Amino acid sequence: MRIVAALLGLGACRTPDPSNALLGDRDRHDVTAIRAHGWELWQRLSGGAWDAYTPTEQLFDGAPAARPRFRTPRPFREGDGLETETLPVMFDVVFDPHATAHIRANELAKRSHLATLAAMPAFPSDAVAVKLVWYAVHARGLTTMPIWDGEPTYTDADGNPDRSWPRAIAVDPERDTVPGDETTTVTLEDRPVVAHVVPLSRFIHHALETDDEIASARGAARDPTLARGDEVALVAVHVTTKEIPDWTWETYWWHDRPDTGRFAAGRPLGIHGAAASYLMDVTYSADQPCFNPWLEARFPNGTQSNCVTCHQRAVVGAADYLPVTLGRMRADDPYFRGHPPTDFVWSIAFDAR
């Protein structure tokens, strides 16, 4: 994967302080400052810093040092049916050295130890966790990929899974440059769609190289034809940092028109290359929508959901992560009775063994 800046850690670039200006930015609703911090994180991370982070499998499954295992987004029940991902979308979760050390030192990967805790030890203020969302792209030919444009019509109580998005692009892995007006007709979930053709070089991407990695991608993408040399393109990223008690929450996603709309606001000129093709949403509070279309739009009312509100439901013994809504839950909510919160970290709630 990308090795440029692979050893770069956020802790070396910023000295987190829970009493710092971020809380003031939150309390003043200073959207410009909050977004500036989000873009600063993206600029530091998108060069590949997460390549040096510890995969979930090493922390919770004791797997040997290796590439993270790709996983399919969790299905969920909606009415009488089961909503499942049907496109070649997969994800992995990694933790920076500070978060990794905290999980190991406090034995938070052991379900038996979690059961003894009256309260979860809070992560240190320099901890960072990253969720990376990938889309499989074959090395030959064009790969159809849906694009979320964020029209108001997308707000739907039934959810907007990626297969329902009306627009798509065609990813070309064989050319580094493509004329800006080039289009082709592709098929998206049995629908013909006129798609903008874009080169794979517009994405942060990674070639599948090892047998284990290929097997993992085949399973997660439900595509047995994936082979060495095929790629995974980064379509979305969740980043959370413990710089404030409720963590900061930044989420990024790829777009073929990355310079328009409110999710592009404030991107510095210093972000260039493939990293400049990503939009961002960010929040420090539970009271406003903050979501990623590749992850939350599929949920009922997902485009009106909030990262804090979702992650506050991460508790020991959690059975599910829905509903995703807005607003903080009361500390004495029955949901928490007998289920200590895991400091907003779903990996502890779901992956501890």
**pLDDT at residue 10 is higher than 60:** no
> How much is the average pLDDT of 39-58?
93
**pLDDT tens per residue across span 251-294:** 999 999 999 999 999 999 999 999 999 999 999 999 888 989 99
Q: What gap in Å lies between CA 321 and CA 229, rounded to an integer? A: 35
Which residues 6+ apart lie within 8 Å of 219 measured at CB?
70, 72
Q: How much is the pTM?
A: 0.91
Check residue 19 and give its pLDDT. 47
Q: Rounded to 5 degrees, what angle do the CA atoms 64, 65, 71 make?
A: 85
Does residue 322 or residue 163 have the better pLDDT?
A: 163
Reduced to 3 states, what is the DSSP secondary structure of residue 73?
coil
Q: List residues bridging with 169 in a β-sheet.
A: 145, 196
Reply yes or no on whether the pLDDT at 65 is more than 70. no
Residues 330 and 349 sit within 8 Å (Cβ to Cβ): no
In 3-state terms, what secondary structure has residue 186?
Answer: strand
For the four alpha carbons of 238, 242, 245 and 248, in that order, the dihedral sign comes to negative
pLDDT confidence tier of residue 38, bands split at 50, 70 and 90: very high
Q: How many C-beta neighbours within 10 Å does residue 343 have?
A: 21
- 190 within 8 A of 214, measured Cβ to Cβ: no
